[in-house]
Amino acid sequence: MYSKIAGTGSYLPEKILTNRDLEGFMETSDAWIRERTGIERRHVAAEGQGTVDLAEPAARRAIEAAGLAPRDIDLIVFATCTPDYVFPNAGTLLQQRLGCPGGAAFSVEAACSGFIYALSIADKFVRAGEAKHALVVGAEVLSRVTDWSDRGTAILFADGAGAVVLNASAQPGVLSTHLHADGSHRELLFCPGGPGARSGLPAAPAPGFIHMEGREVFKIAVMELGRVVDEALAANRLDRSALDWLVPHQANLRIIQGAARKLDLPMERVIVTVQDHGNTSAASVPLALDAGVRDGRIKRGELLLLEAFGAGFTWGAALVRY
């Protein structure tokens, strides 16, 4: 038994914040942001719009694309680092919205690698025969934990949601997943808050907001993503030339270009949405995947490599026959 992607979906908030808009309230410029990140605009959730509000339409679109109804979903794995509540978890809140109670529903917190982690977990459930139709979601409202006076982070992060449905299949879909973490680099990328803020734990210079040492994160991300890509290909005894598409985490165009060079893939074979979406953490890979599927670039039978790197540090890759 295997799991196979049967449908994809995504959703972005209506409000768009361009680089020009950022020029109006911080010391930055459109040219500076584009040169260093590739980002041109990002979407920001409206007042009162939460993570599950973004996830629901993305999930419904994925379920519809899979030819299913919400009642068919028997597992929800929800990746987010910006949940609406400490508890109940975002998976159960989405389950209630969709109207498919009874199956397991839970959240995964692995920051930008969250969707890869969630996909890996759902794949194992399906392979074990414990789920037939699994909904995997990545959704974030990072604008709520962004210090808009810090140009080092405010230019990067944004809001959005993406989702896929995995069906049980006799044909291989998710060929393998590869997950890693190294908690020794906590101080390079973290966001204090929640119960920890009341426990005397150390906070960032701006408590409650994302703190990132960009250069150090960049160097480690490039190194570890290169390793996990090689690991995924070696595990399946495949050469880089077998890949049809790279669907990377949309953090920074330079990191994406570096990954493509390592794989000897032209940028025309890489799904890039960072210019329009910014860094949406756990939502970025499924957002990019849905964009590639819906505009017709990604076709059935093609081989995809999904990869991501995030706070923790966590990182991972998935090799998928779409």
User: Can you tell me the distance from the alpha carbon of 155 to that of 102, in angstroms, rounded to the nearest whole number?
Assistant: 41
**CB 309, CB 221: distance < 8 Å:** yes
Pick from 153, 195, 180: nearest CA to 308: 180
What three-state secondary structure class fits 190? strand
Residue type, 200: G
Q: How far, in Å, CA of 234 to CA of 225, rounded?
A: 14
Partners of 105 in the β-ladder: 76
175, amino acid identity: L
Is 279 a known active-site residue? yes
**d(Cα 185, Cα 307) in Å, to the nearest integer?**
20
How far apart CA 213 and CA 85 sit, in angstroms, is 28
Q: How far is CA 117 from CA 38, 103, 138, 300, in A?
A: 26, 19, 10, 23
Task: Please tell me what DSSP assigns to residue 236.
Answer: T
Choice among 19, 81, 100, 112 that is catalytic: 112
Q: Of 43, 133, 249, 277, which one is the catalytic site residue?
A: 249
- Catalytic residue numbers? 112, 249, 279
